[in-house]
Amino acid sequence: MRILLPYGEGTIEFEIPENIACYTVSSKLPIGNTIDQSKLIDEALSNPIGVPKLDMVLKRSDRICILITDRTRATPNRTILPILLSHIERANVDKGNIDIVVANGLHKPMSRSELEEFLGSHIVSEYNVTNHLADDGDSLKYIGRTRFGTELYVNKVVTESDFKIAVGLVEPHFFAGYSGGRKLILPGVSGVRSIYMNHRFEMIAHPLADYGCMGGNPVNEDMMEAASMVNLEYTVNVVMGKDKSIVYASSGNFTEAHRKAVDLLSSMVCIKVPFQADIAITTNGGYPLDRDLYQAVKGMVTASRITKEGGVVIVVSECRDGVGHSDFKELASMYRDPYKILEYIKVNEPLRDQWEVQKLAQVLCKNSVILVSRGIREEEALNMNLMYASTVEEAFEEALRIVGRSNIKVVSIPEGPYVIPMPPSAR
């Protein structure tokens, strides 16, 4: 069986030997390149869910804050923002009263040139565009404490605005269930302390802090409460097809509009798998999500869901930006035993990037992971308890050696974390 694995902005081809049973997980997401992308956004804004149209609720005197995802997400901001801004300006809101905040969470902020490339130079020059800096205490305001105990510090530009709009991409998320909507507040524009508390060990360790889980997931429910406390009025959500074109858009009330997008996406990405794999071959979905190893943990978690205890996960990820986060690298390299890393996090939290390392360690306690990447040095991978191979062929040969038995079963997941494989036990 021939499989094509997204890798950076291209693909890698691999042939599964004919004598090996293989199942390929494929979402039901359509191809969106025949759909008028701008029309989808305009129709969503013209038909908001649970709230009136923007031109009916906004006033000229309102200070508007638009929250957008950072560059690690494939949100088509260049398509969405101009249409959203035109709807806002129909209410005679001055451009000077519109702030656009990049909800970086703990990710690296962008330079002006990067912002221009990301959003378009006309957006950056005509509007107040700023990066959220989670470590800048002076830029944050304390809002209160959630019922989960999270102390909520939020960007002052957001808290001081009269009307808040979150623009997000809805996709599977490995501990929040799905991205988009409320996630633009926490972690998007929250302070480092708030993010640490939402992502703390006991929250991430909860069995429902997983792909596709919303109800009963403490991470998600904490995020929802935070968004309510900040009074997030409105959200714009998009679902992307297999070609990363928009196939669905919703707008309106931050819970209802997001839920509508989640329900649609769930019906297309939760895919039943007939057996658990001895070897799973996955990706991180290609660029931009596979731009660093930090993000590539998502693909590993996806594959581990349907891989037997003691089985092997092969993850193919370009990682053009290397590891991505130095704290993640340091913590994941602390011990050669993932159980010791988990114990260290539990005893010594809060630690920056501990949630990513915790998820990685959970996978490594169950499976061996072989990384195929030209952006990561072999020594780096080995130090982080990963195995390393220069090609998929080499990785597969090593996986066969580790499994060490005949009649093995292979599952391939070319879409990586953009799909949620459901093992037989989860049906």
pLDDT in tens for each of the 427 residues of the chain?
Answer: 899 999 999 999 999 999 999 999 999 999 877 789 999 999 999 999 999 999 999 988 789 999 999 988 889 999 999 999 999 999 999 999 999 999 999 988 999 999 999 999 999 999 999 999 999 999 999 999 999 999 999 999 999 999 999 999 999 999 999 999 999 999 999 999 999 999 999 999 999 999 999 999 999 999 999 999 999 999 999 999 988 899 999 999 999 999 999 999 999 999 999 999 999 999 999 998 999 999 999 999 999 999 999 999 999 999 999 999 999 999 999 999 999 999 999 999 999 999 999 999 999 999 999 999 999 999 999 999 999 999 999 999 999 999 998 899 999 999 999 999 998 875 4
So where are the chain's domains? 2-25+273-426, 37-268
| CATH number, domain 37-268 | 3.40.50.11440
The pTM assigned to this predicted structure is 0.93
| Side-chain half-sphere exposure of 200, counting CA atoms within 13 A | 16
Residue 257: the pLDDT is 97
Residue found by looking up tokens 């109800």 in the block = 215
Helix or strand run (H / E) with residue 104? none
| CB neighbourhood size of 216 (10 A) | 12
Structure tokens given for 165: 């709009």
Residue ranges in 128-229 assigned as alpha helix (H): 156-159, 192-198, 201-205, 218-229
CA distances from residue 293 to 284, 322, 328 in whole angstroms, order as listed: 9, 6, 9
CA distances from residue 344 to 201, 335, 351, 366 in whole angstroms, order as listed: 11, 9, 10, 18
The C-alpha angle 265, 268, 274, rounded to 5 degrees, equals 135
Residue 5: the pLDDT is 98
Residue 427: the pLDDT is 42
Task: Specify the 3-state DSSP secondary structure of 87.
Answer: helix
Residues in the chain: 427
By DSSP bridging, strand 246-252 and strand 234-240 are: antiparallel
Closest by Cα among 62, 19, 30, 14 to 244: 30
Residue 331: the pLDDT is 98
Max CA pair span of the chain: 71
- The b/e string for 265-302 (b: 16+ C-beta within 10 A; e otherwise) is bbebbbbebeebbbbbbbbbbbbbbbbbbbbbbbbbbb
Using an 8 Å Cβ cutoff, are 236 and 80 in contact? yes
Residue 244: the pLDDT is 86
Distance CA 196, CA 354 (A): 8
Torsion angle (degrees, nearest 10) of CA 195, 201, 207, 208: -10
Using an 8 Å Cβ cutoff, are 266 and 390 in contact? no
As assigned by CATH, the class of the 2-25+273-426 domain is alpha beta
DSSP state of 386: -
Per-position DSSP letters for 301-370, written without gaps between them? HHHHTTEEEEEEEEEE---TTTT--HHHHHHHTS-S-HHHHHHHHHHH---TTHHHHHHHHHHHHH-EEE
Q: Any idea which residues carry the catalytic annotation?
A: 107, 173
Distance CA 381, CA 389 (A): 10
